[in-house]
Amino acid sequence: MASMSFAVTRFSGLSSKTTLSPDFDHSPRRTSLPPNRVALKISSSTDSEPDLSVTVNGLKMPNPFVIGSGPPATNYTVMKRAFDEGWGGVIAKTVSLDASKVINVTPRYARLRTGSAKTDVIGWQNIELISDRPLETMLKEFKQLKQEYPDRILIASIMEEYSKTGWEELIDRVEQTGVDALEINFSCPHGMPERRMGAAVGQDCALLEEVCGWINAKATVPVWAKMTPNITDITEPARVSLKSGCEGISAINTIMSVMGIDLKTLHPEPCVEGYSTPGGYSYKAVRPIALAKVMNIAQMMKSEFGEKDCSLSGIGGVETGYDAAEFILLGSNTVQVCTGVMVHGYGHVKTLCADLQDFMRQHNFSTIEDFRGHSLQYFTTHTDLVRRQKEAIEQRKAERRGLKSDKDWTGDGFVKETESMVSN
């Protein structure tokens, strides 16, 4: 199961002088482009109400919420529903040239709960593969969607075996349908690694660089590389992808996991004829991990690609608009939702938008760009934290000790200054 990326803007962030409202209520938790491609900048308009619209890589969206690649975008019917409900964009389930090699099993999902209620689900595992529908069928549906919704953003997620001609053919056929951009699935954590697909590419930077070169030499629409979190340093493949011509990064895809063992049957979940296989973990429980990975990528992009148009789409455990605000504060241009749609339905986008606008009103933000990347400035090293705390403690001690010299007395603060030197 996949999700998405988003493209070309700079990490301008906010001024270090900007401060967030102290009374904000946090509950409920809510390189150069190839010559055949054109870089466009992000812009947004201002209105009396907080404006959620973004223009990403020239693609205008009414809001930053995008259906992530996976079951919520697996056919014409569900993608049409997503557009009708008001999602900012849709990334279709990943396609490849030969769908006959894709064979799914059932059951293929398992949930992690903290209780028995539906709302107690905090984690979701899947062992689902990419689209098992014929490529020609998916292409016809892409074309139909673009004809019916010409002003809505449809992104094709693609993945192919280690073959230059195969990638070129897939890109050519997909682009002919009129899709607005491509997301490259370098991150599916399960299924077909022996075919050098998905995370098998995203975990090998040399292989990734070669394949990105093929893709970016062929593509005529924006390209985003979707990152796997199942790697020691996620900034390494992100850096390689951007240097190889990709306009944006999507992060993160699902985390390799074993959901659990049924203590009655002693079999793993999800259980297929008594057996299972490790799969991708998503939903609320992965959000702290996703935020850390997004922060790492955003810092790298800001420091190494600051003068170039690069973008970031945050993915991982987004259930509310307040969750989305955290990803945007860490530099995300857009936010993808996949498992959340499977739990709450397509109409959930209205709640997401309302939550995000509420956050923006509380801080007097008019546009997404007003606060995107703001919180990156507050991350530092542990050594620096120790230094900062030591200096703060010394400052507080100095204030308690009172004035050091007669020259420090002031007229306005005379009474307070006197009290600062009284011992009882």
Active-site amino acid positions = 188
Determine the distance from the C-alpha atom of residue 55 to the mean position of all C-alpha atoms in its chain, rounded to a whole number. 17
Dihedrals phi, psi of 409, to nearest 5 degrees: -65, 140
Two structure tokens written together for 360: 């923006």
Dihedrals phi, psi of 146, to nearest 5 degrees: -70, -30
Run of H or E residues at 111: strand 109-113
Run of H or E residues at 84: helix 76-85
Mark out the alpha helices in 108-248 (DSSP H runs).
135-148, 164-175, 199-202, 205-218, 235-243
Cβ pair 56, 6 in contact under 8 A: yes
Angle subtended by helix axes 76-85 and 348-362, to nearest 10: 30
Dihedrals phi, psi of 349, to nearest 5 degrees: -60, -30
The alpha-carbon radius of gyration of the chain (Å, integer) is 24
Cβ pair 99, 134 in contact under 8 A: yes
Two structure tokens written together for 243: 């240097």
- Return the DSSP state at 272: B
Compute CA distances 124 → 75, 108, 284, whole Å. Answer: 22, 11, 9
Of 365, 293, 286, the closest CA to residue 325 belongs to: 365
Two structure tokens written together for 135: 């490529």
Two structure tokens written together for 115: 């209780």
Question: What is the Cα–Cα distance from 402 to 404, expressed in whole angstroms?
Answer: 7
Two structure tokens written together for 60: 């205008």
Mark out the alpha helices in 219-259 (DSSP H runs).
235-243
Of 74, 87, 214, the closest CA to residue 152 belongs to: 87
Burial class, 101, CB count within 10 angstroms (exposed 0-12 / middle 13-18 / buried 19+): middle
Residue reference for tokens 């998405």: 4
List Cβ neighbours of 104 (8 Å cut-off, separation of 6 or more).
128, 129, 132
